[in-house]
Each structure stands twice: as structure tokens, then as C-alpha cells.
Structure 1
Amino acid sequence: MLRHLIARLTLLIAFTASIVGGAASIAAASDMATDWIDEDFTSLRLISAQTQTTSSDTLRLGLEFELQPDWKIYWRSAGDAGFPPQLDWAGSTNIDSAEILWPAPHRFSIFGLDTFGYKNQIILPIDVKLNDPAQPVSVQLNVDYLVCSDICIPAAADFTLDIPAGAAIDGKPASVASSHAHQIEKFVSRVPLTGEGLPIKVSSLTTSIQNDQPTLHLGISGLTNAGVAIDDILIESDQRLGFGIPKPADQHAVSDADIKYFNLAVFGLEDGKDVADLPVTITVIAGPLSVEQKLVVGAGGEGPIAASGTTPSAGMDLWLIGLFALLGGLILNVMPCVLPVLSIKVMSVIGARDQDIGQVRVGFLASAAGIVTSFWLIAAVLVGIKFAGGSIGWGIQFQQPLFLTVMTIILALFALNMWGLFEINGPDQLGNAANDAITRHESRGRHISSNFLTGMFATLLATPCSAPFLGTAVGFALAGSVFDIFWIFTLLGIGLALPYLAIAVQPRVAHILPKPGRWMNVVKFILGLALVGTAIWLLGILSVQIGLGGAIAVALGLILGGLGIWLRKRVSSLRPRFAVTAVAVLGFLVALFAPGFSRPPATMATAPKAGTLQWQAFAPETISTLVADGKTVLVDVTAEWCVTCQVNKKLVLETAGVMDALQDADIILMQADWTRPDQKIADYLASYDRYGIPFNAVYGPSAPDGILLSELLSADAVLRALGDASGKSNLASSAN
């Protein structure tokens, strides 16, 4: 009966994952939102990203629409028909002005008419300027909007939302992020980028007459480096003009093949007029990336603008980055992050001692295949998140409570199995033989699926941190195309699997170990303790995300489940065995569902413990001002789940020599905690083409753009960077 327990529990975990997530969402969405106003074609409400005002004079709200299938609302420039939502703030108090941040829209074409807008679900972020940030805000909002399908219906809605004035706890500002903040920021990330340093941009804009049709010619650069392709180009102007669908144009003779050219027909132009010198706003949409530029149409352009300078061969870069990925995956085997899976690796080798050469080779090849497959799954998930407009990064699965909970349950089961409290010996077709990798029955009836699943599981636990070369490779991949992501992640998987592949090439290595005996029981007991320690570590991370109470509930559920399995081992009668089996199942279900009923802590502790470094809250927007004032800024992006981050902290940053240097009055320590998802941190990392942690950078008067440090810190490297950034070349020697 129990031999099928894990298989059934695994199916139950997969079946209930979405239910847990839904319960958590419902529980968290009850604050700072108006009631839904329901119509036949849509439901809408007003939500706030903040639970109270802060010292900032800007308050972020969101106007959320849930549209019925085939219905849409309009963008700020509706196109050939329609009009966008109109907001009236009359009656509101402490509001000076408000601005809608418009996410990139979709084009809808029907009967030769083009309109632009949104379907399904959309949140329009709104930045509200306050008269006095220290006072409460009373929102009285009237929304007039047009919603269309086969017919168009004008509609209106009124909302009232009160946001209290900011309060302080123990003299410190209280957390203000509401349960809706993440959803609003998700749509903020879809708002087209503006300003300088855009990843893609319109590099040329001219006009001509083609076949008696006024036409705009656009050259767009940066597409290859960004790994995106043009989906749409939207043109807005003050004149009553229409612009056609962008069509790729001939490349002509150009010196920069990265510039792609498009033609857009111009409609509605009066006879004898042209669009030369016309100010326009251009929105370029390319997959999850969109940019917005205000330009003036050039007259009679001769063709594309030639790029200055040369760039390295893209093919050479790709192979070099591929080598970095291979080395990074290999080095990951000896990083602190893999310590939690050391037990699994050790038992894989020990279990191969009594197998013949063919079995050893096939088993380790299967483990390597599981590692590579796991990297493919991670890559596929990241691609999906990227196309959905979300933030992506290396190890972000450790930011998800459900992932942590499931991994903790699996680790607990592995430990119980390691200690011989239960065994799983089901038939091959069940595919549940993964635990054979850590039982004494490996020597007979070992399943290839066991090795494969063990490799997959080990990979998931071994990827919360970065490593030398790995950060560069992952940054290149996540900023690139789908091909780049899968190419780099495949090489990362091969690099991590190289030790397994090496044993597969020389399987006789496994026979060097002594024959099985009592020593294996001692080893299994120690490795089981290591797995329990890993589970406790994951519970510590979980407590940061769902609160201490939720983590304790998960732990109690695991203890109850373990106690039930232990009791079952000691009873032989059918009825008591059934009862303790039910207790075990109940305990693991409690552990699984507990996070769904837990409320995340309102704040994340960033204050240092006594005797450690005094870190300031992460505020990247202040770095340039601090540097201009002559300060040197050390930025540390860390997380509770990042083992390498904790090693860097204990063995480098908090050592005597480095701490003495960091306590200089002109050095500012700024720490970003990425234990939970944070869009500001994700954007900061992405600005350096980095998507994983550890990440450390030093800014100063002599290095205003920052000096990036290696993933594995050393005291000399930190002190040298501080000296170079501050202009005090003797800083390292004086600290030593």
C-alpha cells in the first residue's frame, strides 16, 4: 500500500498546485481595492500598489479591466475608430494630477480599419501626483470608456478609494506595498521604454513618394543584439493622419547589417503636403520589448544611416559565450550551491559499486540526460515568462513558495528513505523509482528512470547561485533570443553533467570504492542528516516569503508525516498501519497546503545584526548623487536562498580587514535582498546584462559607471575595487 504513496502524493502535488496558488491570490487581494463593477462585457475596479502614502509625492494606482472574450478597450491613440478611457478626478482630495502609463497595445484590423487596444485582462497603471505626501488621499474617480466587439458600447464607472497617511514603526517607515503591487508592476514592465540608451531604437526616419503614396521609411537598430523581431510599429502625430501596417523594406547597401528597414504608408495627407519635418511619436513593439521615441521626420533621405566603428563577429561571440557556459556549468559542481545535493551525488557513486560496467555507464548517462533535460525545462519556463512580459533571472524558482514547499517535502521523503523507514520498489512503468538512487536496492533492479529523475532533481536544487563564467553566459542568454537561451542552457547542463559523463566514459572508477557493508549504514545516516539540514535551510527561506508561522506549519506537517511513516514501520496489524498511513498522508498534505493559507510578512528584514556591516536600503537612483558628493558605494545583491552570497558575506565582506575598510565614513553600503521577487532589483541586474546573483558592484568618483566584481569575492578584489573607485590607490594596502 505504501509503495504507491509517493507516486500518488506526487500526482496530488501537481494537481493541487494551481489550487494553492489561487487560494493565495484570493487571500492576498482583499486590501486596497474597490469592489468590482460588473457589466455584461467587462468587469473593472481600481487598485492601489500602496497601502499608505510615503515620503514620495507620487502614488501608483491601477485601473484593472477583465474583458469578456472578443471584447476590447482602446489605447491612448485608438486608431481609425474608438476612444481611450477618460478619467475624471473631480471630488478627490490631496491629488494634484494623474498620468496613465500605457502598456504596449495590440493592433486590431477589420474591414480595412486598424485600431489599437487591449483584450482579456489589462491593468492601466496610473501615477498620481500628490499635493502633500504626509496627508491621506481620498480618490473619487469617474471612468468613461468605450468597449467594442461586433458592436461598441460606451460605459462609465465610479470608484471611491481611501489611502491613509504613512505611519512609522519604531521610527522607521512601514512597508507600503499592497498585495496588488506585483500585478500593477507586471503591466508597468510592458510600458514602452523611453529616454537614452534604448536597447532598440529608430536610427533613421525619412519620407518619400512611392507609387503616388506618401511613405515613411524607418531604420531600426539593435534588433539582433536584443534577440527580438519587429511585431508592430505605431505612429502618432498631431495631424489627422493614418499610418499603414509596417512592411519590411530592402536593406540596400548598408555598413551595419543590424539595422532593419520598414515602410509605412501615410493616409489622409492633403494634396501638395508632405510629412517632412512632422513631429511624431513612434512606438516600436518587438516581442516583450517595446520602446517609444519622439522624432521629426527627415526630408528626402538618401537611405540608411551608416554606423560608425565595427563590431566583433557574432558567431565568434556565440562560441566564446558557449565556452563560458560550459566552464560555468562545470564550476557549479564545486560551488557552495551544490552542497544540498551532495548526498544524492555520493549515493549515485556508492550505489554503482556492485553493478556491472554496462549498468554503471547507462546509469550515469541517464543522470547526465536528466541534468540537461532539467536545464531545458528551466530554459522553457524562462522563455515563457519573458514572452509574457515578466522578469526573468537565474535561480528565480527559489523566489516561489510552492517550489520551496515541494522541494522541502521531497527532501524529507528522500531522508526518510535514506534511513530505511520506507522503500519504493514499484514496477518500471510507474516511473517512480527515483528513490532507488538512495537505497540499498540499487544494485538490483535499478531503473534508468531513477537515474534520470535523480539528475533532474539535483539540478533544480543546485541552481540558486551563480558561478564564475556562468553569470556572463546566463546574462547573454537571457538578454538574447530563444535560440540563445536554449543553446547556452544546454551547454550549462552539459558542464554540470561532466562528472557523470566522465564516470560513464570510465565506469571502472565506481569499482574503486569498498564493497557494501555496515559502513554504508553510517554513510546513509550522515547523508540523511545532510538532506534534513537542506530541508531546514529551505524552510528558513520559506519563512522569509510566507512568514514564520507559515514555515512552522510546513515543518509541523513534515514532522507529522515523518512520525506516521516511522510508526508504520513498527506496527504489523492492518488497521493500525492504515491509521498511521493516513496520519503520514495528512502531515504531508498539511505541509503542501500551508503556504496557501499563510500571509507573507509585510516587510523584509534588511537591518543588520549587531556587530555586522551597516547596510542601507537599496536605492539605485541615489547612486549617482552619492558619487557626485564624493562617496564610494558598494552594492550587494543577495538573497537568503543564495548560498554563494552567504559564503561571500561570511568569508570576505565580514572579515576584519575588509570590514575595517568598509566602515570608512565615505563608503556607503547598499544591499538589495532578492529573496522575494522585486522588479527594481530585476531591472537593476538586467541593466548590466546580469540575471543571477551574487552581484556586487563598486561606484565612486573614479568609477561612476561601476566596477563589477566576480561572483566569488576575495578580500583583495573588494579592496582593490574600493581603491580604484574612490581614487585612493592605497586603500587596499592600508586595510591589510
Structure 2
Amino acid sequence: MIHTATRQIVAWLIACAAMVAAFAPVSAQDLPVEARYGDGNIAVELFADGVPTAGEKWMLALKFTPSAREWHGYWSNPGDAGQGMMLRLDLPAGWEMGEALYPVPETLLISGLMNHIYEGEYAVLVPISVPANAQIGGIPDIAGHVEYLACTDRICVPQDAVLVAGQGGDFARWQAETAPLLDARGTFEIVGKTVRIAIPLPGAVNLPAPHVFIGNERLVDYAAVQTFMREGDMLVAEIPLDEYGTGEAEALSGILAFGDGAGVRFEAGGGNVPRLSTMIAGPIGADTPPLWTLILGALVGGLILNIMPCVFPILSLKALSLARAGESEAKARSEGIAYTAGVVLACVGLGALMLALRAAGEQVGWAFQLQSPAVVIVLLVLATMITVNFAGLFELPSLSFTQAGKPGGAFATGLLAAFAATPCTGPFMAAALGAALLLPTVQALLLFAMLGLGLALPFLLIGFVPALRNRLPKPGAWMQTFRKAMAIPMGLTALALIWLTVQLGGRGFAMFALVMLFGIVLALAVVGRLQAAGKMAWPAFGLIAAPFVIFGAFALPYSYAAPSAQPSESIHEPIAFSREALAKARASGQPVFLWFTADWCVTCKVNESIAIERESVRDAFKDAGVITMVGDWTVRDEEITMFLTDQGAAGVPLYLWYEAGAEAEQLPQVLTPDLLADLLAEKADR
């Protein structure tokens, strides 16, 4: 979102410019009476609710009446722009003015700025505390002065009025329109970059479109999508904090709007907020697919992961192992179950860790593990070991890819396959994983489990369906040749991880990683020779590899150099993503193409090579005046993670098209070569 202070400055500059343009030619004394007394864009009148009674509350009301439908006023906390009412009353000695009571406001979002407004006629009630010893002989003379802001979607005009209380007014209706205060007090807590509010609300109250208007200024991001969980008579709202706000509050107050013009006021103090399991509204919105659709998307998405170069060799060789002569039905099933258990456990474990980190306030998304240099080093070592294993340099019986062994080996293989396959979100996975970040924990973990089941499904079917195993090629010497051929894609995966190591930690970091890796490969080569001679091999591995591993443990942290934030190399020369840069680009009136990528995302790089990084696309964008912007998520970036979450995405790739003056349009995660050109042509024809 736009920096809060910047938004307020912009709003005030607009208001001041409007005021200068409207009033500069004349002095205040020259203004017509109706302008000075509030009968201009929005007129205001002060009414008294009958004769006051000593020792009791007495009610005044300010009735605001716009001169036309286009004008609107503001709630006490106007939001990102605007100005709340400032009221002064001349009261008898000892009489006290209470906090103004407002109707339920409405939201107005303009160019990313959220305003809390009132359209049409509305009334603000002002309670007055009358002393018990007050001498009352009728309605006292009450005068005052009010300053407020009258705005349209294009212009704001400061107004003020001199007030004199008069009789009349529809107090019964105005009090009914005012949001009543809940009897029970709520609680709130600030967790990471989110404020969580527990509001005691009867379960019978219908909430078609809930929204919380926070009275505390500069605490929350007003334009952010709010999440609501509900169980019984308790409602929990989660609202992102204002990135540039105070981030602190001793107490909270506000209005909970139900979505049909009704609502209640609430007050909350610091305390524990329960974690509820039923979400009724959130960033994924009303268009969220049903749970069964998300489950199917996760299952199909996991299935597609099997064709990734870091998974396909493992899967194919394990599948061929089941076709070995003499393989029993029982052993085939047990290996299939063990492999599936390993895959599902890895996916659920990664998902649970991600959800736990997010609950603790960390801004992480799917494939967060590849944003950690330490994890990438571990993956590099594993990919290299698998590569040289495929090449026949050594054997690891407990984790054999070409022989049917014990279920423990299949389980470990499943763990490895899942860990290697999960960096990118692919087709069908986007909606499911985006929803998993927002759904209750049990449902979210179910989606991660279905992702794992989809990844393991081919091997599981081969283990349980003899007809599929019978279709596999018969075992023979060719399997060793095939195994060595599979070392090529795994080797390419290792090379890609070396390149990623450079991107994450710099050349020095990658060089020390290669030194350590050389020692490990050397130790494995010695192991292979000893195995071929029928001798004890693995103690030698420890003796040779240990010095290199110790060297890496000390050298790698000291050589790590955090990468500088800069846009990825592209023929489009895109702007680096930030919320401020995006708001500025959208305000230019030109279309904007924004894409999010990462160096470790295979899908991202394929899309870029076939659909984005093309001279024809660059020329078409240039002719149409398209502003290009890229968010590089190779290294953890909290602003990008929060933005992805707002878009209902758990990871990359994500492609957004902003037509001038319109909201984001999400493009498919798999881009065809002509998709962007066709999109431009379609927009031009409209």
C-alpha cells in the first residue's frame, strides 16, 4: 500500500488546492451566508432532543444534508484520506460533551486509497452529560462551531458552520441508525504484522459482508482485505497493520459493519484471541471455489509436479524397480505405500511449517525453503549425490532408485522427491495453495496432503495395479544405461542450484560451496571403489568428507553476501516492484503488466522465455504504452509475500494486468507464446 503519511499528504494537498481554487478570489467576509454557515456542498443543522433533565444524558444531533448525490462526508476516522468532524460547543458550566456517535459508515476505494464515508443524508449524535444540580428552565441556548470536509470522487472542499441548537429532528430514526455499543468487551492482540480482534457477537447475527472500521488512526492498513473467522458467539477479525504506522495500541474501538447497512460499535482491550476454524470472509473472497474444487486442484497440481526434471528421474527409476523379475505383489504395495507416506508427510510438514511461520508473523509463501541459502546448499549436496549415484559412482542400498528394497528406502525416496518437487506452483495448484494460506488449519493441511498424494499417485498406482507394472519394460541391462541417462536431468538440477547459490549468496559463497561439494564427491568416489572391491566403504567417506564439511560450515557464513534488490534482467527494462511504484504506475493512466518470478522457479523461467522475453512482445508493449514491472522473489521479500497473499497466491509465478483505471486481472500461470499479444489486441478492440 501507499505510505500512510504520503497518502495523507496527497489528500491534504488535494483539499488545499480545491480550497484555494474555490475561495482564493474572495475573502471570508465576502462569502455568501449559506457558504459560511454550512449550507453549501453539505449543509449542517444542530438539533436538541427536547428539554434536558438534571442528572441524565441529553442528546444533540448534527444533521448533514448534501446538496447533491455526488457529495459525501466522513466518519471520525476518515481512512487513508479525508478529514473527520471537529466540533466545539459552548455549554453551560458543568455540562460535558461526550464522544460523538456515528451511523455505520461505508467504504470508498479510489486509486488504492480507502475512505470511510457517508453518502446521502446522515446524522451524528452528541451525548451531553447534565449535572444533577443543573437549573433547567427549558432548552438552554447552545451554540458551537463545526469543521468538516465535503468531497466528491474528484474534489474536496473544507467547510465550517456556526451552530445554534434548535428543536425538532427525527431522533428516534437517528438513534436507530447509530451503531449500538456491544455490552461485552472484546480482546485484541498484535501478532507479527497483523492485529487480531475477538468480538463477542451472537451467532444468530447474519454477516453477509463484514467489515471492521477501526477508530485508532494509523494502526491498520485500511485498504487491506480483512479475514473473518466465526464459531458460536465469537467472531475473530484479522487485519494487516499499516506498514508505516505505529504498530501499537493500548485499546481498540471501532464499528463492525454487517454488510447490509447495519452494524455495532465495539471496544476491545489487550488479551488472548482464540484461533477459530471456520472462515466466513477473507482475502480469497466470495469467489473462492468450494473445498472439493480446491482439493481436486491440489491433487492434479501434485500430479503435474512429476514431470519436473528434479522429480521425473526419481519417479521413473523407482517405477522401473517395481518391474524387476520376481517382484511380489505384497512388496510392490508396501513400497507404493511407503513412498506415498514419505511424499505426503513431506508436503504436510512443509505446509505446517509455513503456516506456523505465518502465524508467528513471518511473511513466507510456498517454496519459502528455497529462499534460504542454507537449505539451497543442502539441496545442492543432495542433488549432486543423486546425480553421481545415477552415474554409478557409488551405491546407497538404503536409498536405492533402481532396486526394490525395504519400505524404509521407498519412504526416504518419497521424502526426497517431495522436497525437490515443491519449489514452484504450477497449473491447478495456484488457487489451492493460495486458499491454504487463509483457510482453517485442518482444511489447509488437507490441501497440502492432497498435493502430496497427487505427487505420489503414479508410483502408488504402479504398486497397486499389476496391469500398469506389466506394461513397464522388462528388466535388463538397459536399466543401467537408463539410470545413467537420468543422471543428466539431475545434473542439470544441480547446476541450476549452483547458479541459485550465486544469486542468493554471491560468487564467493558459491565458490566455497563448490569446494565443500568437491570434497563430498571425492569421498563418494572412494566409497564407490571400496564398494566395488567388496570392502567396508562408509568410514572412509566420513574421514575424507569431514574436513571439507567443517570447512564449509565455517567458511560459508562468512562469505555470504546478501543480494541487492534490483529488477531481473529483461528486454523490457521493467521497474522493480513496490506498492508505491505500482500505485504511481497505475496513476499514470497507462496499462501495467506486473509479473512475479524467482530464479528457482522452473515455470517462471519457461514462461519468460516463451512468452515475455520476446522482441515482438516488447515492441507491442512499447507501442501500447504498457508499463512493465517485475517482482523478484528469489530472496525472501516481505512486501512481495504480503502482496501475493492479497492476490490469493501462495507463490510464483503470478501475472497481473492492470488496464488504465481498472483493478488487477490475473493471467494464467502457464503463458502461451501469443497470450500477451492477443491480450493487447483484445484490449485495443474494445
CA distance in 1, matches of 2:418, 2:473: 28
- How far, CA to CA, are the matches of 2:535 and 2:321 in structure 1? 33
From 526, 530, 534, the counterpart of 2:485: 526
The 1:348/1:591 distance shift into structure 2, 3 A limit, reads farther
Contact map agreement 1:555 1:591 (CA 8 A) in 2: no
Give the Cα–Cα distance (whole angstroms) in 1 for the partners of residues 218 and 538 of structure 2. 70
The corresponding residue for 1:631 is: 590
2:293 corresponds to: 320
Deviations 1:314-334 (A, max 9, x none): 997222322322232233334
Q: Determine the structure 1 residue equivalent to 2:182.
A: 217
Deviation at 1:627, TM superposition (A): 3.2
1:491 and 2:461 correspond? no
Distance apart, 1:592 and its partner CA? 5.4
CA distance in 1, matches of 2:365, 2:581: 24
Question: What letter is aligned with 1:367?
Answer: Y
Q: 2:371, 2:635 within 8 Å by CA — same for their partners in 1?
A: yes
Distance 2:640 2:218 in 1: 28
Mapped pair 1:332 → 2:311? no
2:207 — aligned with what? 256
- 3-state SS of 2:623 partner: coil
2:609 matches 1:650: yes
Aligned to 2:557: 596
Cα distance in 2 for residues equivalent to 1:694 and 1:719: 19
Distance 1:598 1:728 in 2: 51
Partner of 1:135: none
Q: Following superposition of structure 1 onto structure 2, how do residues 99-498 of structure 1 map, counting pairs within 5 Å?
A: 196=114, 216-217=181-182, 232=188, 248-252=200-204, 254-256=205-207, 295=254, 304=263, 317-334=290-307, 338-354=308-324, 355-425=327-397, 433=398, 435-436=399-400, 438-439=401-402, 442-443=403-404, 446-498=405-457
CA apart distance, 1:197: 9.2
Identity of aligned residues (%): 26
Q: Is the 8 A contact 1:415 1:531 kept in 2?
A: yes
AA at the equivalent of 1:417: N
Give yes or no for contact 1:357–1:508 (8 Å, CA) kept in 2: no
Shift of 1:369: 1.8
Q: Which residue of 1 aligns with 2:684?
A: 728
The aligned residue for residue 664 of structure 2 is 706
Deviation at 1:346, TM superposition (A): 1.2
Contact 2:423/2:601 (CA < 8 Å) preserved in 1? yes
CA–CA separation in structure 2 for the residues paired with 1:621 and 1:247: 33
Call closer, same or farther: CA 1:294–1:321 in 2, change over 3 Å: same
Secondary structure of the residue aligned to 1:669 is: strand
Distance in 2 (alpha carbons) for counterparts of 1:451 and 1:287:
44
User: Contact conserved, 1:367 with 1:455, CA < 8 A, in 2?
Assistant: yes
* Counterparts in 2 of 1:246 and 1:454: CA distance versus 1, 3 Å: closer
Match for 1:217: what amino acid? L
Partners of 2:576 and 2:219 lie apart in 1 by: 35
- Give 1 or 2 for the bigger CA radius of gyration: 2
TM-superposed CA distance for 1:398, in Å, is 0.7
In 1, the alpha carbon distance for the partners of 2:631 and 2:611 equals: 18
Q: Which residue of 1 aligns with 2:95?
A: none
| Correspondence list, 1:563-712, <5 A | 563-570=522-529, 582-591=543-552, 594-604=555-565, 606=567, 608=569, 612-664=571-623, 666-701=625-660, 704-712=662-670
481 and 588 in structure 1: CA distance in 2 versus 1, 3 angstrom threshold: same
Shift of 1:259: 6.0
Is the CA contact 1:419–1:524 (under 8 Å) kept in the aligned structure 2?
Answer: yes
TM-fit CA distance, 1:400: 0.8
In structure 1, what is the equivalent of residue 79 of structure 2? none
Aligned-partner residue type, residue 350 of structure 1: L
Assess, with a 3 A threshold, how the Cα gap between structure 1 residues 505 and 472 changes in structure 2: closer, same or farther: same
State whether residues 206 and 218 of structure 1, in contact with CA within 8 Å, keep that contact through their aligned partners in structure 2.
no
In 2, Cα distance between equivalents of 1:689 and 1:605? 25
Letter in 2 for 1:321: L
Change (3 A) 1:624 1:375: same
Matches within 5 A, 1:7-26: none
Secondary structure of the structure 2 residue equivalent to 1:368? helix
Residue deviations 1:210-263 (CA, integer Å, cap 9, x gap): xxxxx941899xxxxxxxxx85279xxxxxxxxxx97735345x33278699xx
Q: Secondary structure at the match of 2:290?
A: helix
CA distance in structure 2 between the partners assigned to 1:679 and 1:459 by the alignment? 25
**Structure-1 separation of matches of 2:264 and 2:664:** 32
Q: Is the Cα contact below 8 Å between 1:281 and 1:295 reproduced in 2?
A: no
SS of the residue 1:556 aligns to: helix
* CA pair 602-410 structure 1, distance change in 2 beyond 3 A: closer
Report the count of equivalent residues: 465
The whole-number CA distance in structure 2 between the counterparts of 1:405 and 1:465 is 18
Cα distance change, pair 692–315 in 1 and its aligned pair in 2 (3 A): closer
Determine the structure 2 residue equivalent to 1:541.
500
For residues 429-456 of structure 1, the C-alpha deviation after alignment (integer angstroms, 9 at most, x for no partner) is xxxx2x22x24xx24xx11111112112
Counterpart CA distance in 2 for 1:231 and 1:595 is 46
Structure 1: segments with no counterpart, 5+ residues: 1-55, 59-193, 199-204, 209-214, 221-229, 235-244, 262-277, 426-432, 731-736
Q: CA deviation at 1:305?
A: 6.2
What SS does the corresponding residue of 1:394 show, helix, strand or coil?
Answer: coil
Structure 1 pair 581–685 and aligned structure 2 pair: CA distance change class (3 A): closer
Partner secondary structure for residue 515 of structure 2: helix
1:663-684 deviation line (CA, Å, top 9, x unaligned) = 3361111111100001111122
Q: Is the 8 A contact 1:422 1:565 kept in 2?
A: yes
Partner deviation per Cα, 1:21-69 (whole Å, 9 max, x = no partner):
xxxxxxxxxxxxxxxxxxxxxxxxxxxxxxxxxxx999xxxxxxxxxxx
Measured after TM superposition, the shift of residue 534 of structure 1 is: 1.1
The answer for the alignment partner of 2:473 in structure 1 is 514
Q: Would the aligned equivalents of 2:298 and 2:448 in 1 still touch at CA under 8 Å? A: yes
Q: Which one-letter code corresponds to 1:729 in the other structure?
A: D
Cα displacement string for residues 293-314 of structure 1 (whole angstroms, at most 9, x for unaligned residues): 775899xxx98469xxx99999
Distance in 2 of aligned mates of 1:554 and 1:509: 42
Superposed displacement of residue 712, structure 1: 0.4
Q: Measure, in 2, the Cα distance between the counterparts of 1:313 and 1:605.
A: 36
Aligned pair in 2 of structure 1 residues 197, 552: CA closer, same or farther (>3 Å)?
farther
Alignment correspondent of 2:44: none
Aligned equivalent of 1:147: none
Q: When the two structures are superposed, what TM-score results if normalisation uses the length of structure 2?
A: 0.60
> Residue 685 of structure 2: SS of its match in structure 1?
coil
User: Which amino acid in 1 is paired with 2:291?
Assistant: L
**Structure 2 CA distance for aligned equivalents of residues 246 and 341 of structure 1:** 45
- Distance between the aligned counterparts of 2:255 and 2:476, measured in 1? 81
Residue identity matched to 2:346: S
**Contact 2:187–2:199 (CA under 8 A) maintained in structure 1:** no
Given that 1:280 and 1:296 are in contact with CA atoms closer than 8 Å, whether structure 2 keeps it comes out as: no
The CA deviation at 1:377 is 0.1
- Is 1:719 the counterpart of 2:677? The answer is yes
Report the TM-score, using the length of structure 1 for normalisation.
Answer: 0.56
Hey, what's the Cα distance between the residues in 1 that align with 2:598 and 2:648? 19
Change (3 A) 1:422 1:591: farther
1:588 Cα offset (Å) = 4.1
Q: Deviations over 1:307-365 (max 9, x none)?
A: xxx9999997222322322232233334xxx2112211111011111222222222122
Q: Determine the C-alpha separation between the residues in 2 that align with 1:665 and 1:722.
A: 8
